[in-house]
Structure 1
């Protein structure tokens, strides 16, 4: 059994399959086990036997007022993974939508005040980030892809801010030693993100009238996500 489980929360199969491939490449592993929470609960896999979890993004938003039963079930399972990492029994990396789930679980506020469009953005590491085993090797900053409507209003209680950006102050934090949450998409290469744009063209992450220009900007970007993800397996069992 692989020691890392990719947790998918995307309804769109093409985007989910591509994200799975992206995480596998970024982690530098030949195979990566997977569970799709919109089609199966955590109980369908031996999830408590995994040392690590990487949680992908989703068009869901924590701030949605009228959530479907499927979204509520997804968030319940994500909180179970986060609790396991918070207890130190595994290491987990939550991305984009997942940072909202973790922030709320920790007693923090999720807000619509700091959206970021589809872009490559440079984020700055804090002193804690520079000392962190996952983020530290990339200090003092890294370039990442962003695309979201909601974010943490502030670092939630008990967490340590690792990376920030003026337009969206909470870019990454760690709770305890093994629970990581990031606002950005570390798994995506420029081509990955351009392909994802096609799936979410009408979802409000960018102006569809500027599709060609935004796509070209994405394809010409240089990002450090793979460098971040490649350090994740080294945290398992440490």
Structure 2
């Protein structure tokens, strides 16, 4: 059994398998256990023995007007994880879709006004981010991959902003000492992200007619600090 758990919330099996591999590589450990929330509801006993959890991305959106029972259950399970992290009972690094779940749980608003298409983008660490054990060594700025339709409208109550940029002001925040959230995707290499695009070619993250162009831009990007964040997360909580 690993001390780290990857929580999957992707319906696409191929994309989920690849994301698991990306997290394992970025965390820098040989074994990262996996829990697929779309296949298996979260049993609190399942978390026993783990010090750290990473939550992958999803095509789900908190702002979706019609949600399946599976999505509603996934969101409830992620909220449970967030509460455990706030209580410092386990460390959790939420990414992409799940930052919206945490933001809403904290009473914050989630908006579709600040989307970012599939691309590499520069984010800036805040003063708090520069002194954070996970984000600090990457200060003052890092290049990461983004692809999202929604984001936090503003920093929710009780959270500490760690990273921002002009397009999407809430890029990452921390609650307490054990809960981290990121709007971006910290785990993929350029090759990983380019391959992931094939699963979401017609889902609105980029113009499908410009697939080759966008994929080429992704492959030529220099992106390493996202993985460095996760490696430090594993060092601190693995």
Q: Shorter-chain-normalised TM-score: which range?
A: over 0.9
Q: Hey, what does 1:229 align to over in structure 2?
A: 230
Residue 46 (structure 1) shift: 1.9
Distance 2:24 2:45 in 1: 19
Q: Hey, what does 1:139 align to over in structure 2?
A: 139
Residue 48 (structure 1) shift: 3.6
| Partner SS state of residue 168, structure 2 | coil
Residue range with higher mean Cα deviation, 45-54 or 210-219 = 45-54
Q: Hey, what does 2:156 align to over in structure 1?
A: 156
Distance 1:183 1:45 in 2: 28
Decide whether the 8 Å contact of 1:120 with 1:218 is kept in 2.
yes
Q: Hey, what does 2:165 align to over in structure 1?
A: 165
Deviations 1:100-149 (CA, angstroms, capped at 9, x unpaired): 00000111000001000011000000000000000000000000000000
Decide whether the 8 Å contact of 1:35 with 1:45 is kept in 2.
no
Q: Hey, what does 2:130 align to over in structure 1?
A: 130
| Partner SS state of residue 191, structure 1 | helix
Structure 1 ranges of 4+ moved more than 6 A: none
Deviations 1:186-207 (CA, angstroms, capped at 9, x unpaired): 0010000000110000000000
Residue 226 (structure 1) shift: 1.3
Residue 45 (structure 1) shift: 6.0
Matches within 5 A, 1:22-33: 22-33=22-33
| Partner SS state of residue 163, structure 1 | strand
Gaps of at least 5 residues in structure 1 are none
Quickly say closer, same or farther: Cα 1:231–1:145, change in 2 above 3 A: same
Distance 2:12 2:192 in 1: 15
Q: Please provide the CA RMSD for this pair.
A: 1.1
Using structure 1 for the length normalisation, give the TM-score: 0.98
| Partner SS state of residue 143, structure 1 | strand
Q: Hey, what does 1:76 align to over in structure 2?
A: 76
Distance 1:78 1:15 in 2: 20
Gaps of at least 5 residues in structure 2 are none
Decide whether the 8 Å contact of 1:91 with 1:235 is kept in 2.
no
Matched residues, number: 237
Residue 235 (structure 1) shift: 1.9
Deviations 1:14-45 (CA, angstroms, capped at 9, x unpaired): 00000000000000010110000000011286
Distance 2:106 2:44 in 1: 26
Q: Hey, what does 1:5 align to over in structure 2?
A: 5
Residue 158 (structure 1) shift: 0.2
Distance 2:145 2:178 in 1: 23
| Partner SS state of residue 43, structure 2 | helix
